Chains A and B, each alone.
Chain A
Amino acid sequence: MDINWIYGLLGGLVIGTAGAVYLLVNGRVMGPSSTVGGLVDGSDRSGEQVGFLAGLIAVPAIAALMIPMQTYASSNWAVLVMGGLLVGFGTRLANGCTSGHGVCGISRLSPRGIVASATYVGAGMLAVTLLRHVWGVI
């Protein structure tokens, strides 16, 4: 087994710290799907939403100047557009993503967060199995 899990654990602790700051200082649940959703549909265009988004984009942008980074994402337009639509639509309908329902929800034992997380992980595992091993499209 490689050492990626160590970076995963450390990165996770940093992600949780970000959520802790946002909760304790601002009194908000850290949810990037709600940030995008609130900004595009006009339901929440507060300075906090703009500030959070700016910080989230800026730090990796600065780091990318020093360390080469890549997402290794698909270059198939249909995959990217369909995936983006499903992620944007689904997280807004369910009112949360891996951050809001996952990190922030499970950690307070929110029943909705736990059920949502079990559903998206289960659906994701089923989808990868079908897309990769049955249909061979990803």
Chain B
Amino acid sequence: MQRTLFAALAGAIFGLGLMLSGMTDTRSVQGFLDIFGAWNPTLAFVMGGAMIPMAIAWRLAARRKTAVLGGNFPAMPPPRFDGALIGGSAAFGAGWALTGFCPGPALASLSFGGWQGLVFVAAMAAGALLAAPLRR
């Protein structure tokens, strides 16, 4: 129960941050990717800002044996650059560019994003299901 509550708290803070940062506005995201058009640097500030608490958190985690609610911290994945990582990320980038949505903002905007957001999230769930047999 505690784990679920703190997960909900993390999700809630994440939703607040996505809203505040303007990342639920697909024009801002497409604007960041549009280096030959009216380039919008906002996403770089969002990423940079997010790195600061996260980098501190990883340092704090390195000093602890387990998480506050128990369990090990996620291990560093071995540096394996296979077709799944590169091909999957390239496919993600193309879909991100096409719509201006990545998974976090698409979920955060589900309540106010209209039918367009619902269609996107349904397709995203279907895409995730299609990838399931390819995951090891």
Q: Which of A14, A29, A48, A63 has the most CB of B within 10 A?
A: A14
Is the pair A17, B99 in contact by a Cβ cutoff of 8 Å?
A: no
Contact of A85 (CB < 8 Å), options: B22, B114, B130: B130
Q: Which of A9, A37, A110, A126 is within 8 Å of B49, CB to CB?
A: A9
What residue in chain B is nearest A57 (Cβ atoms)? Answer: B110
- B 80-99 binary contact with A (CB < 8 Å = 1; else 0): 11001111111111111111
Count residues on chain B whose CB falls below 8 Å from chain A CBs: 118
Chain A residue at minimum C-beta to C-beta distance from B91 = A90
Q: How many A-B residue pairs have CB under 8 A?
A: 496
Given A11-B20, A71-B113, A90-B92, A49:B80 Cβ within 8 A: no
Given A4-B42, A60-B18, A71-B112, are A94 and B7 neighbors across the interface (CB < 8 Å)? no
Interface size on A, residues (CB 8 A): 109
Residues of chain A having any CB pair with chain B under 8 Å: 4-30, 32-33, 35-37, 40-41, 43, 46-61, 63-64, 69-75, 77, 79-95, 97-99, 101-104, 106-108, 110-112, 115-117, 119-129, 131-133, 138
Which residues of chain B have a CB within 8 Å of any CB of chain A?
1, 3-28, 30, 33-37, 40-58, 60-61, 64, 66-74, 76-77, 79-81, 84-114, 116-117, 119-132, 134-135
